[in-house]
Structure 1
């Protein structure tokens, strides 16, 4: 009986408690951008932190200075509780799906787990990547959560908070991508 209960609980952990829709993803992203309390965050604006959001559990965390090339010196990431762009996307999708569907890693790792969609088919809740995504080589450097009307919510760079920007505000758009299990 105990084994059956364990298996049932394990299997149910893979099913989100509410249907995941583009509106749900977008609502969570807007709530985070507005500084509303979320699981793992007490509330308030969330600062950008290089490498932030990449602890074992998704959500704001201290960042790292490894690979940091930002303009603020010395690197503030190891003292800043926050998110970088892929940490934000990972956390939003984790909150929406009830599990870590994007997994650990950076934008290159995340884009490989998603399906490219035409720009005309993009809908709120999709992810917008920047850089190059080819058949053999992936070199991305930024991701945002598309919220419609040519805008995205993103963690842009050191010295800023999670915010809304125009998709066109970042050069070298690689494309729009969707989690395959998304509705």
Structure 2
């Protein structure tokens, strides 16, 4: 009887320790991924500078700094999202507030921490990130299984792409 009580007490302590160590944000990755799929379902198009109005979400883009192939620049007349505007909106929906802010991919990297292994809901950045400089040009939301949701470039809609589809992978980042 004493042995059974000791085993029960030990099991209870193990469960308490295990649940106490579970991060409070364990549900966020699922919310981030779900928000990504919901936005994809809506069919928003890429718009250079789109998604960077005062509040997260689709907005008219800008032609300032546009280097896309479609001429003349369609961004100023296109309601949509660029890659960082897409990730901004997804994270705002999941977190309930604008945690990434209106900045570009370089500014978003600065708000996050790099992780060695991505998990669904992390952001996937492309470009160069070193201790001395950050020069990124693309971001997507990691879905798992080597796939990401992103707003890739002018003329495309938010879609699923392989993480390895671009050559200059800079890493997985987590808020």
TM-score calculated relative to the size of structure 1 = 0.81
Which stretches of structure 1, 4 residues or longer, exceed 6 Å deviation after superposition? none
Match of 1:116, SS?
strand
**More helix by percentage:** 2
Q: Once superposed, what is the RMSD of the aligned Cα atoms?
A: 1.2
Supply the distance in 2 between the matched residues of 1:65 and 1:168 (Cα, whole angstroms).
29
Report the CA distance between 1:20 and its aligned residue.
4.5
Give the unaligned 5+ runs of structure 1.
1-17, 36-44
Which has the higher Rg, Structure 1 or Structure 2?
2
Is 1:147 the counterpart of 2:154? The answer is no
Q: 2:119–2:142: 8 Å Cα contact kept in structure 1? A: yes
**Matching of residues 61-76 of structure 1 within 5 Å:** 61-76=59-74
Q: Which residue of 2 aligns with 1:101?
A: 99
Supply the distance in 2 between the matched residues of 1:107 and 1:127 (Cα, whole angstroms).
10
Match of 2:46, SS?
coil
TM-score calculated relative to the size of structure 2 = 0.84
Q: Which residue of 2 aligns with 1:56?
A: 54
Aligned length: 151
Q: Which residue of 2 aligns with 1:115?
A: 113
Q: Which residue of 2 aligns with 1:40?
A: none
Cα offsets for 1:130-149 (capped at 9, x unmatched): 00001110000000000000
Give the unaligned 5+ runs of structure 2.
1-24
Cα offsets for 1:103-158 (capped at 9, x unmatched): 1210000001000000xx21000000000001110000000000000000000000
